[in-house]
Amino acid sequence: QGSSEEIAKMIGFKSVTTVEKVCEAFPELDMVDHMNRVRLSEMIRTQGLVHDENFRPVDAIVLLGEPVQWERALQVITDLLLTDGNPAIVPSEFNIDHDHIPVIACNRDLVFKAAADLPRFGHGAFLTCLETLYKNLSGNDLKYTAFVGKPYEISYQYAEAMANKIALANGQPKVEKIYFVGDNPDVDIVGANMYNNILKQTTLPKISLSGYSLLSDTTFLSATACDSILVCTGVYDPKKH
């Protein structure tokens, strides 16, 4: 899907780093890469362990999607969580009891449908691994500052706003009813049904929705209903759902 660093800057982040750059700043972190072990041994033998002295501690972690190298990402992200974003700090029993740095995660799909007969692991599977490792190492639950993407309402609000902008640009009235088509009952359809319930709660002002303040122009939220339509392909299995 492209460079995560470029995507982060495109959506508004100004100061961005990546797992790969953290590994460059702290070459001892990635011990799964056996070639890195060789390079690290040579570094220590010839000049000692060298860190990037200009490394700026990480303020927050944004998980855009499943990484290419899960094992490296799991190790480094866990390191950042245990060290308040600065691997140069050695954590102790006294500084792992407080909350870790903020974590924002996108796309909690456990699996997705590809060419293989069985579904493939998605970003939700990676998050499950991360949660388990952090729990086992720290004794604490991983706490997400926010989730974005399906099935969370901010995704449906954004889709509604975009549909309204297109409709109004073409001289059409504002959207009153949304039809959401998806192939994953546990994510697409559950999310659409949840959004429909929110729209039906006339006593709940839209301003109270968790993603409301994130939208650039909330005047494009006009729908009063959202119907879900399940496409019987993808990860849908009639024997399970």
The residue ranges of every structural domain in the chain are 4-148, 153-230
- pLDDT (tens, 9 = 90+) of the chain, 241 residues, equals 678 888 888 888 889 999 999 999 999 999 988 888 999 999 999 998 888 889 999 999 999 988 999 999 999 999 999 999 999 887 765 455 678 999 999 888 888 888 888 889 999 999 999 999 999 999 999 999 888 888 888 888 888 989 999 999 999 999 999 999 988 888 889 989 999 998 888 655 555 555 555 555 667 888 999 999 999 877 777 777 6
Task: Encode burial over 200-226: b for 16+ CB neighbours within 10 A, e otherwise.
Answer: eeeeeeeeebebeeebeeeebbbbeeb
Rg, C-alpha atoms of the chain = 22
- Predicted local distance difference test score (pLDDT) of residue 93: 58
**Structure tokens given for 95:** 């500084």
**Superfamily of domain 4-148, CATH level 4:** HAD superfamily/HAD-like (3.40.50.1000)
- Predicted local distance difference test score (pLDDT) of residue 15: 92
Is 30:37 a contact under the CB 8 Å cutoff? no
pTM: 0.77
- The C-alpha angle 210, 211, 213, rounded to 5 degrees, equals 100
- Burial classification of residue 119, based on how many CB atoms lie within 10 Å of its CB (0-12 exposed, 13-18 middle, 19 or more buried): middle
**Structure tokens given for 103:** 């974590």
Reduced to 3 states (helix: H, G, I; strand: E, B; else coil), residue 77 is: helix
